[in-house]
Structure 1
Amino acid sequence: MWYLLALSLLVLQFNKKISVILLMVTAAVGAYTQVLDWRALTFMAGLAIIAGAYCKFSGKVPRTLLEILLVLASVGLMLHLIPGFHNLRVLEGVRAGPESAPFSMYYNFDKALVPFVLLICLKSLFTTDTRPRTKPWHWMALVVAVPVLLMVAVALGGLKVELHQPQWLFQFVLANIFFVSLAEEALFRGYLQQRLSSVMHPVLALLIASLLFGGMHYAGGSLLVIFATLAGLIYGLAWMLSGRLWVAVLFHVGLNLCHLLFFTYPMWQRLPHIS
């Protein structure tokens, strides 16, 4: 089922009809396997009705109100506030290394719906032609910024260099691409940053989207908020320079993968000193 959901997201940009059909089949399987209960199915049916109304109405006021509803639904899905989604826990309390804090990982059905919802609001969610001219050094600087940011986290005491070769690397990459990064980039870069850029200076839009992205990580403490905000600047610049959502997703997944393979993940857990 999860591979089918990932496939539906992969083809969403290129063929919406096939992608929606795949999503419907996935939802049916999800209902059968009890990943989705009646509340999630009812919510998804409601989204379909709102989407149909949004496409049908031509007036600015009703479309704006419906778009607000769709964006609020996306935020609810992102934050796992919508009941009825029983996401699969793939990892529970695992440690990437001896000095890494334990963590759990899920395949998120609710979060995976976010790109579908936002594409209804903004047809240019995945690609836009409004991007500045770029030079090779722009991209080189952006690539270098990824390890630099991780080393800054080390200097601040949040991480420590620790090499890993986890057996669950494939599951981690699959979850990060389709059930985490794509949804987050769709909301914060593809939709929010793009919408803000149409009414204000693109740099200001980049800063606001990055700050909101950092604020979403408040549960992890102030250091994680700062780290996520700076990471959001990297992802936002990747979107701004390329005009392609998948490029921002690539940087997002790349940073998370570098974090996992070369540093304590998700953070450094200081062990008590035993004398």
Structure 2
Amino acid sequence: MTGRAQRFAGKALVVTGAAQGIGRQVAMQAASEGAHVALVDRSELVKEAAAEIVAAGGRAVAILADLEGWAGARGAIEEARAALGRVDVLVNNVGGAIWMRPFEHFDEAQIEAEIRRSLFPTLWCCRAVLPLMIEAGGGSIVNVSSIATRGINRVPYSAAKGAVNGLTVAMAMENAERGIRVNAVAPGGTEAPARRIPRNTSAQDERDATWMQEVVEQTKATSFMKRYGTLEEQANAILFLASDEASYVTGTILPVGGGDSG
């Protein structure tokens, strides 16, 4: 795969949540820039994404794992190291609001599910990769947060992403002198193809549609550009922070929301 600057030539890069959306785009662009990529997801669709990279002349391996628990995250990172030889870069992309509704309409199980999905995969994967990067004497971690830390109709998700921001800065402080950079990108609303596997498989009623539309309107209203971003615009920011071009950047939460800082 050629045509882009080879910022990741010789680098081993792991992308979680890589079957669809932003994660898939990051993996594709990283591979086109020379990375040997491990694409991690709990969906079988991740195999298609890896096969597409290989068919285009890139290097990729697909890893099936549920990252909401420690065992799955540790196993995925170990499998990635076995396949790639090491892990230079980790992009933690798993997450995304499952339900869009005012907080009083969330029940206990839904709140816990939102936190498990949008915090724990990042937390566990950071913990799993850290010893490898310490041993190697350096590395780069980019966590995918969200500008929805200031948003409506998704309080549990907002809380999870706020925790991701705290995790990012605290890890950066602890590990900067070890040569490990830890940053986050906070995407705003992003145009993407319809998800082949939806986050929420339950039936949606008129209230759900209304609450979802409120989120769309608020997201565009708080963006200076009054639009959603593209998958490539999000991947560009993530890969900048992942690359050596950002060698003096750590502990930073970069909003990519057309002016909305979250």
TM-score (ref. length: structure 1): 0.28
* Larger fraction in strand: 2
TM-score (ref. length: structure 2): 0.29
